Every structure is written in structure tokens, then in C-alpha cells.
Amino acid sequence: MIKAVLMDLDNTLIDFMKMKRKASEAAVTGMMDAGLKMNKKKALEILYKLYFKHGIENQNIFNEFLRETTGSVDIRLLAAAVVAYRKGKGGMLQPYTSVVPTLKKLKAKYKLAIVTDAPKFQAWTRLYELGIDKFFNFVLTPEDTGSTKPSGIPFRIAIDKLKMKPSEIAVVGDWISRDIIPAKSLGLRTILAKYGQVWKEVGKADYEIKSFTDIMECLK
């Protein structure tokens, strides 16, 4: 019997990539308006490759982009990117449609927690910005666990905090390699959030859901 649910944050509860795309497009446009001589489509391709290499949350990604594309960091272009990114990000970060009502139902029956690879400050900022922080018993980030999810360590720590058997805990996330494989290896029930999946990977979860509300059926 499932007694607790561990949830990923970005692309599971929050449409993070939609925000990221809009903000990144705004940043590239901002740099071009400030004098960057580059095709927008090509610039975005390079930026996304750098996100994949250095991490989607990398705070110096525009520095890396400018070094990659121009050979140096022009502070004027960097400032244009950061300001445009912040403006593009505003109002774009939202939970998926069914998240809040479903969390209310889940909270009445299960212990809920977040296990995320997002930096601690950014994770808490998003939770408070969207008003969903109150649903969770605890939040684990790499700063809390000393490791990221593929290692399995954050899930082990979550199991210890919950004081439950792995078979009594479900995990829902959008990454096979980060959420499903490490959780499954520890004996947790795994649920793949297909609606938020960005990269196709090899591996299979116990369940797949096309909407967050479908999680209710997987926990029966």
C-alpha cells in the first residue's frame, strides 16, 4: 500500500521548459538587439547544447554562450541577455493545469515530498511563487543530500526521512535516468510523467501518465 509520494519539480509539477524556451529566446533576441551578429536559430541551437553540457540551471550560461560564439564575454551583451531573460521569464512559470487540485487530493491521503536536482534557492523560489510549498512535508535538493538523483542517494535519504518501506513509496518524474531508474533500483513504485518528458531515454517505469491527475489511478 502506497503511503507517500516523492515528486520531481521541473517538468513534473511545473512547465519549466516552456518558461525556459521563452526566456532563452528573449535573451538571444536581447543580445542580437545589442549588437550580436548571429542567426537566431543557430544561436538557440548553441545555447541549448550548452544547457545540456553545463546544466539547465547554470547561472553563467550566457557567459559560456558568449565565449563559445564570440571568444570573449562582452559585458554589454551579457547585460542585455540577463535583462531580456528576466523579462521573458516573468509570468511564464506555471504549474500544469491539474497540479493544484490533484495535490489537494493527494495531501489528504499521502505524505508528499519533493526530490529535485534544481538548486535549493531556485526550487524554493518556484514553490513559493506558485503557492504550492504548503503541500510538501519536505524538499530535498543537491545541497541537502550532497548528490544528484542518478546516484540514488537523494531517494535513499527520502526513504529514511519518511521512515517507510520502499514498497510504500511512489516516485513521479519526467526523466528515466534521473527519476525512474534510480528509484526503481531501490524498490520504489515509479511513475513517468510523459507530459513533461523532454529527452527520450531507454528505460521503463511501472506506470506512465499523460496528465498529473492520472497519478491518482497509479496509487490505488
Q: Give the CATH number of the domain where residue 133 resides.
A: 3.40.50.1000
Q: How far apart are CA 165 and CA 170, in angstroms?
A: 11
84: which 3 cell numbers?
Answer: 531580456
pLDDT of residue 199: 74
pLDDT of residue 90: 76
User: Does residue 31 contact residue 213 with C-beta atoms inside 8 Å?
Assistant: no
**One domain for residues 39 and 117:** no
Residue 46 sits in a domain whose CATH number is: 1.10.150.520
**One domain for residues 123 and 209:** yes
**One domain for residues 213 and 106:** yes
25-28: long-range contacts (C-beta < 8 A, 24 or more apart)?
25/88, 26/84, 26/85, 26/87, 26/88, 26/89, 27/62, 27/81, 27/82, 27/84, 27/85, 27/88, 28/81
**One domain for residues 43 and 143:** no
**One domain for residues 30 and 67:** yes
**One domain for residues 203 and 140:** yes
**One domain for residues 10 and 118:** yes
The last residue of a domain, from among 89, 117, 143: 89
**One domain for residues 159 and 56:** no
**One domain for residues 75 and 170:** no
Q: What number of other Cβ atoms are within 10 A of residue 142's Cβ?
A: 18
Q: For residue 77, what are the CA distances in angstroms to 33, 35, 39, 57? A: 9, 7, 15, 20
pLDDT of residue 202: 83
Number of domains in the chain: 2
**One domain for residues 114 and 200:** yes
pLDDT of residue 5: 98
pLDDT of residue 147: 97
**One domain for residues 111 and 204:** yes
Structural domain of residue 61, as residue ranges? Answer: 17-89
Q: How far apart are CA 113 and CA 63, in angstroms?
A: 34
**One domain for residues 30 and 56:** yes
The last residue of a domain, from among 89, 114, 141: 89
Q: What number of other Cβ atoms are within 10 A of residue 76's Cβ?
A: 11
pLDDT along the chain (220 residues), means of 10: 96 90 95 96 96 87 97 97 91 87 97 96 92 96 96 98 97 96 97 89 93 94
Q: HEC states along 98-119?
A: CHHHHHHHHHCCCEEEEECCCC
User: Does residue 208 contact residue 190 with C-beta atoms inside 8 Å?
Assistant: no
pLDDT of residue 177: 94
The last residue of a domain, from among 89, 113, 129: 89
pLDDT of residue 91: 73
pLDDT of residue 55: 82
User: Does residue 124 contact residue 133 with C-beta atoms inside 8 Å?
Assistant: yes
